[in-house]
């Protein structure tokens, strides 16, 4: 049975079943990824990555990834690892930086925003529309507003010049998935720029 044969409600129920089925594995992965800081932000990390998938991806994409391909734990595990390592990830700018300030660990993890304020206009970008004059501005603007996973892959491949093989070794994502997901990121950028 394909997702075309199911109603939206049935698709959501199946997705929910798979999320419940893999919940313990994803919690274990969040504990492994967050390590000693699990009690500080580990639960938020899992909730954030799962929320990004379930609210920002199409229902068809969710169904294929979660139900048909049965890749939910792998996808969430990679998303958590990417979000936890980067000081420019949405998770860091929305949750971790604030949490670090609250628990007084700034001496251990310096706040990069103080030294490089131009890197952290995340909230301002959401509220202030940008006037885009050139195609390059449009592409960079669209890239900055992709979800973290696609943004990282497109940046690594096109801006940092990494090969598929290098990315496969670094992120442990299959070559086929890399090619497909980078192409999807480019498609999202094109869609964004065509609207302007």
pLDDT at 15: 92
Question: What is the residue-level pLDDT of the chain in tens, covering all 196 positions?
Answer: 455 678 889 999 999 999 999 999 999 998 888 887 788 777 888 888 998 899 888 999 999 999 999 999 999 988 888 887 776 778 877 766 555 444 433 333 333 333 333 333 333 333 334 445 567 777 877 888 888 888 899 988 888 888 999 999 988 889 999 999 999 988 888 887 776 5
Does the pTM of the predicted model rise above 0.85?
no
Q: Which domains does the chain have, with CATH numbers?
A: 1-109 (no CATH), 129-196 (1.10.10.10)
Residues in CB range of 181: below 8 A, 6 or more apart: 149, 150, 153, 173
In angstroms, the CA 3 to CA 147 distance is 24
CB atoms within 10 A of CB 187: 11
Rounded to 5°, angle at Cα 82 from 77 and 84: 95
């Amino acid at each position: 049975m394909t997702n075309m044969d199911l109603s939206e409600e049935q698709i959501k129920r199946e997705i929910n079943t798979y999320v419940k089925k893999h919940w313990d594995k994803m919690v274990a992965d969040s504990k492994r990824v967050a390590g000693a800081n699990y009690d500080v932000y580990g639960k938020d990390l899992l909730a954030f990555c799962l929320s990004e998938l379930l609210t920002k991806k199409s229902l068809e994409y969710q169904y294929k990834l979660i139900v048909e391909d049965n890749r939910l734990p792998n996808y969430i595990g990679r998303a958590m690892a990417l979000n936890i390592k980067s000081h420019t990830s949405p998770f860091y700018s929305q949750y971790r930086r604030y949490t670090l300030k609250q628990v007084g660990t700034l001496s251990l993890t310096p706040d990069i925003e103080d030294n490089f304020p131009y890197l952290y206009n995340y909230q301002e970008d959401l509220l202030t529309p940008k006037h885009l004059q050139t195609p390059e501005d449009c592409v960079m603007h669209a890239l900055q507003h992709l979800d973290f996973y696609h943004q990282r892959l497109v940046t690594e491949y096109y801006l940092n010049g990494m090969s598929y093989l290098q990315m496969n070794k670094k992120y442990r994502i299959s070559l086929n998935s890399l090619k497909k997901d980078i192409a999807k990121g480019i498609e999202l950028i094109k869609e964004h720029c065509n609207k302007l």
